Chains A and B, each alone.
Chain A
Amino acid sequence: MSADTETNRQSDSSTLPPQRRPPGGVFSPRRAALTVRHLRTDRWWLPPAATAAGLLAFIVYATWRAFAGSHYYSEPYISPFYSPCLASSCPAMPGGARWPIFGSWWPLSPAVIILIVPLGFRMTCYYYRKAYYRAFWSSPPACAVAEPHATYSGETRFPLILQNVHRYFLYLSTIVAVILTWDLVLAFRDKHGSWGHAGLGTLVLLVNAGLLWTYTLSCHSCRHIVGGRLRHFSKHPVRYKLWGWIGVLNNRHMLLAWTSLFMVGFADFYIYLVSSGAFADPRFF
């Protein structure tokens, strides 16, 4: 027998439970006596670290642009961060979604008003919940890696029980997606308002609108509302078919969440460059 016994060889102090934490979870008395939080040998920390880096980068960029309040409109393009524009400080946008519901008393950038909708939609999205629970709250950091918290109540109480409002943000986000699609239609004009023209900005807004629609439609709440809530698909063939199509998109919800997030930031950045004069929008026709 070539056994070489060594008790708890992996008891690295960095992997021990927090000192004040009562022995529980994987350290509970009747469970296998192991002093380590996990025994994973792969790079389990990489996905949550990459998620945190990606989300933080977007948060930093979006915060800067949302509060900047400038360089968000260059006819015929409007940044998706600022549409619909609901403050009286918005510039004249022929045909665009400029509805100054918030008067001159509104002291901040117009983006701050409307960004609450996509922010709420993504914050309560089932994919992003997984992403930030893992990346920012380590709950859990990865599968079979013990979390650092002494107690856990999940989404059973305030504030996380508010995640259940997700479908209302879906409704609002659908309205915003319609408006951004109208912005795309307006982008088929030139600077003088003549129709039948397109530039690189038009293409950017087209991809952005497409990704926003597919992300919105692939939402789990959308899948439920369209057909998932039914018990008898056979009585609702149209909804059954739609449910199936949305299921195909839903399988790619994570991919669509990231690509649409990147694209909405890129679309805003492109319009910032054009509006500030740093880049001249190439016209295709």
Chain B
Amino acid sequence: MSYQARFRVWRGDEAGGELTDYEVEVNEGEVVLDIVHRLQATQTPDLAVRWNCKAGKCGSCSAEVNGRPRLMCMTRMSTFSPEETVTITPMRTFPVIKDLVTDVSFNYEKAREIPSFQPPEGVAAGEYRMAQEDVQRSQEFRKCIECFLCQNTCHVVRDHEENKAAFAGPRFLMRQAELEMHPLDARKRRAEEAQEEHGLGYCNITKCCTEVCPEHIHITDNALIPLKERAVDRKYDPLVWLGSKIRRRTG
């Protein structure tokens, strides 16, 4: 079944922009990115959009569809009624470059601030041995496709530009949690670093990062809250502190 759908697409750049209306054909089985491509092909060849795999695995086509952070390639048109006007805007947390393309370099800067995996002393590369049950928790976090929808929707930076310097965002706090739980990572104080240097305390666990994750990673429940609990262990819990002084445990 084909029909003519109404679309509103944000067009512009850093200097300003506007929502522009289009009418465009929609066919059965299509996704929002297909429609954006049809717009480029038939009506507005200068419409800027970032995309790559069209399979929900590259994380390139992040945008906001009807105000909800989504991958355009994974948003089926069948979820909208033919009468509905579909609004597409770029991610609203990052500076816009042109049309639907944003400058996501904030995320790369934050990625560089997370200390990388630190191998244990005396174990050479190639000699790492880990039990499956020890690594499977952090393997969930490796599903991340770096679409940055969680970074985009997190109100700590979305609604407060001034917090960008102090807050790493859910994606990179999850990276810190992944390494904190890693059975071979030798770096100490990752939970304290998360709290003191990467802004873990800004997270008020309202779970928007989890809601928008296209990989369905339980960011809040499995990464951020466990990281908060580890920070409590080391910074705020006198009983755990006392226990660690009496009996050294490596866990």
Please report A residues at the B interface, Cβ cutoff 8 Å: 1-10, 24-26, 28-34, 38-42, 126, 129-130, 133-134, 139-140, 143-147, 149, 151-157, 160-161, 164-167, 220-221, 224, 228-234, 240, 250-251
Contacts of A155 in B (CB 8 A): 201-204
Q: List 17 A-B contacts (CB under 8 A).
A: A2-B23, A25-B160, A30-B96, A32-B17, A32-B90, A32-B96, A41-B87, A126-B205, A130-B204, A152-B156, A153-B202, A154-B203, A167-B237, A229-B229, A231-B134, A233-B131, A234-B131
Q: Given contacts A31-B94, A33-B12, A40-B66, is CB(A3)–CB(B161) below 8 Å?
A: no
The reply to whether A25 and B21 contact each other, CB–CB distance below 8 Å, is no
Q: Given contacts A32-B17, A33-B18, A40-B67, is CB(A147)–CB(B155) below 8 Å?
A: yes
Other than A34-B19, A39-B67, give 9 A-B pairs with Cβ distance below 8 A.
A7-B19, A32-B12, A32-B92, A42-B66, A139-B206, A144-B68, A164-B228, A224-B226, A224-B229
Contacts of B95 in A (CB 8 A): 30-31
Complex CA–CA separation, A38 to B158 (angstroms): 12
The closest CB in chain B to the CB of A233 belongs to B133
**Which of B10, B162, B204, B250 lies at the interface centre, i.e. has the most chain A CB atoms within 10 A of its CB?**
B204
Q: Is B194 positioned at the interface, with any CB of A under 8 Å from its CB? A: no
Q: Which 6 A-B pairs have the closest CB atoms?
A: A39-B67, A40-B67, A156-B201, A234-B131, A143-B208, A154-B202
Contact residue among B66, B155, B204 (Cβ-Cβ distance under 8 Å from A129): B204
Q: Given contacts A1-B43, A34-B10, A39-B87, is CB(A152)–CB(B155) below 8 Å?
A: yes
Q: Given contacts A143-B69, A156-B201, is CB(A4)–CB(B161) below 8 Å?
A: no
A282 to chain B, nearest CB (A): 41
**Which of B96, B134, B182 lies at the interface centre, i.e. has the most chain A CB atoms within 10 A of its CB?**
B134
Contact residue among A38, A130, A220, A250 (Cβ-Cβ distance under 8 Å from B207): A130
Complex CA–CA separation, A138 to B134 (angstroms): 38
The reply to whether B203 and A126 contact each other, CB–CB distance below 8 Å, is no
The closest CB in chain A to the CB of B43 belongs to A1
Contacts of B60 in A (CB 8 A): none
Contacts of A143 in B (CB 8 A): 68-69, 153, 208, 211-212
Contacts of A24 in B (CB 8 A): 159-162
Interface residues of B in 142-164 (CB under 8 A from A): 153, 155-156, 158-163
B200 to chain A, nearest CB (A): 9
Contact residue among A147, A220, A240 (Cβ-Cβ distance under 8 Å from B159): A147
The reply to whether B156 and A154 contact each other, CB–CB distance below 8 Å, is yes
Q: Is B29 positioned at the interface, with any CB of A under 8 Å from its CB? A: no
The reply to whether A164 and B236 contact each other, CB–CB distance below 8 Å, is yes
Q: Given contacts A26-B159, A167-B237, A234-B134, is CB(A4)–CB(B205) below 8 Å?
A: no
B79 to chain A, nearest CB (A): 11
B126 to chain A, nearest CB (A): 21
Complex CA–CA separation, A31 to B202 (angstroms): 22
Complex CA–CA separation, A69 to B18 (angstroms): 62
Q: Is B176 positioned at the interface, with any CB of A under 8 Å from its CB? A: no
Contact residue among B17, B206, B228 (Cβ-Cβ distance under 8 Å from A130): B206
Complex CA–CA separation, A26 to B12 (angstroms): 16
The reply to whether A144 and B158 contact each other, CB–CB distance below 8 Å, is yes
Q: Is B51 positioned at the interface, with any CB of A under 8 Å from its CB? A: no
Q: Is B44 positioned at the interface, with any CB of A under 8 Å from its CB? A: yes
Q: Is B20 positioned at the interface, with any CB of A under 8 Å from its CB? A: yes
The reply to whether B226 and A228 contact each other, CB–CB distance below 8 Å, is yes
Complex CA–CA separation, A38 to B66 (angstroms): 9
Contacts of B83 in A (CB 8 A): none
Complex CA–CA separation, A31 to B160 (angstroms): 12
Q: Is B30 positioned at the interface, with any CB of A under 8 Å from its CB? A: no
Complex CA–CA separation, A233 to B131 (angstroms): 8
Complex CA–CA separation, A32 to B188 (angstroms): 41
A137 to chain B, nearest CB (A): 9
Q: Given contacts A39-B87, A231-B181, is CB(A25)–CB(B134) below 8 Å?
A: no
Q: Is B113 positioned at the interface, with any CB of A under 8 Å from its CB? A: no
**Which of B201, B211, B212, B233 lies at the interface centre, i.e. has the most chain A CB atoms within 10 A of its CB?**
B201
Contact residue among B64, B159, B181, B228 (Cβ-Cβ distance under 8 Å from A152): B159
Contacts of A165 in B (CB 8 A): 236
Complex CA–CA separation, A148 to B90 (angstroms): 22
Contact residue among B10, B162, B204 (Cβ-Cβ distance under 8 Å from A154): B204
Contacts of A232 in B (CB 8 A): 131, 134, 183, 250-251
